[in-house]
Copies of this chain bind each other. A is one copy, B any other.
Amino acid sequence: MTNIRKVAELAGVSVATVSRALKTPDVVSPGTRDKVLAAVEQADYRPNLTAVQFRSQRTRNLVVLVPTIANTFFARVIGGIQEAAQRRGYGILLCNTLGDERTERAYAGLVSTRQADGLIQLRAHDPFTTSSGQARPPMVNACEVLDAAPCPTVKLDNRAAARSVTEHLLALGHCRIGMIKGPRNSPLTRDRLLGFQDALAVAGLLPDESLVFPGDFTPSSGYRAAGDLLSRADPPTAIFCENDEMAMGAMRRIKEAGLRIPEDISVAGFDDIAFASFCDPPLTTIAQPAEDFGREAVALLLDIIDDRDDAADEHRIMPFELVTRESTGPAA
């Protein structure tokens, strides 16, 4: 391994000069700089990054905790994170936590032990064990966000978005609307449910708990929940699913029951994943700027890391858009 000393020797200068020629070229004379660069070239020298990181206490790595990478929406968010991080010279250490707290804490430890400069959490959970008194490591909470997050956040106004979907269904004349929600205890699910109920209330409808079934954001959970909804004596004329994956599962189940979408029953989703416009019929849903969630989270995190302190308590709300396609139609 060629190190800085070999290069210094080769160039006939001191190690300090080599370091400076590479990091702050403007403080060395042009002549020496050229000598050093030539020596670097000749020796095929590349600084040992672990040494640089160790000495400078900066790794230029960010930890990303994602509940499940198999979810198309999260995959897009990660794409945005990675792109933004890379552009700023940061790498990302990805952890697919599957919602496991121990795993999350272990990876969060990478920040405490200086193997990463900060952390982006895409789940509504604080992975840092509240070490008494000490400063919190840099963190941003995005997508599924804690109510009282101890850090900047990037989220959607889930309540307003769910309300707009529901209003769309109400406008089509539906008044018995089923809902397939996400896991319990999730602020995101709670907000979407609230938005759903807001719209019903404005329309003068009473919320009916028996029309709400929980899922886990996978197609098969949507499939199961739709089965439950259809087996009612008075099945709903429309179903609002908290994400597109569950909506696709629900649509499958509805078709297997011999019902037509949207003639017999309307279906709406949430996220606008790539498949939403390709399923049959194309899915009415809420479009979110997934990649931007990631980019924004990185921007906020780097603001904290470089302590541009004004950013320490920012809470960004990302825009959404109701995309109406053929999966929703007038009530029968």
Contacts and interface: CB of A to CB of B under 8 A. Distances in A.
A44 interface: yes
A146 B321 CA distance: 42
A252 B223 contact: no
Contact of A249 (B44, B93, B278): B278
Contacts of A91: 93, 95, 107, 110, 115
A113 B219 contact: no
Given A69-B75, A82-B96, A93-B61, A46 B109 contact: yes
Contacts of A78: 69, 94, 96
Chain B CB within 10 Å — which of A93, A95, A115, A249 has the most? Answer: A115
B72 A70 contact: yes
Q: Which of A219, A249, A275 is most buried by chain B, counting CB atoms within 10 A of its CB? A: A275
B53 A50 contact: yes
Interface residues of A, number: 54
Contacts of A57: 50
Contacts of A280: 251-252, 255, 279-280
A250 to B, nearest CB: 9
Interface string A97-115: 0000001000101101111
A83 interface: yes
B51 A248 contact: no
A49 B109 CA distance: 10
Given A252-B278, A278-B248, A278-B252, A49 B82 contact: no
A82 B95 contact: yes
Contacts of A12: none
A47 interface: yes
A14 interface: no
A140 interface: no
Which of A68, A110, A114, A251: most chain B CB closer than 10 A?
A114
B252 A49 contact: no
Interface string A68-85: 111010011011001100
A248 B264 CA distance: 24
A91 B75 CA distance: 18
Contacts of A75: 69-70, 72, 75
A86 B109 CA distance: 14
B103 A86 contact: yes
Interface in A34-73: 44, 46-51, 53-54, 57, 59, 61, 68-70, 72
Closest 8 CB pairs of A and B: A49-B115, A54-B54, A49-B113, A50-B54, A94-B94, A252-B278, A280-B280, A82-B96
Given A219-B277, A279-B279, 19 more contacts: A44-B131, A49-B110, A50-B115, A51-B54, A68-B79, A69-B75, A69-B79, A78-B96, A82-B94, A83-B96, A91-B93, A91-B95, A219-B274, A245-B274, A249-B278, A252-B277, A252-B282, A275-B275, A280-B280
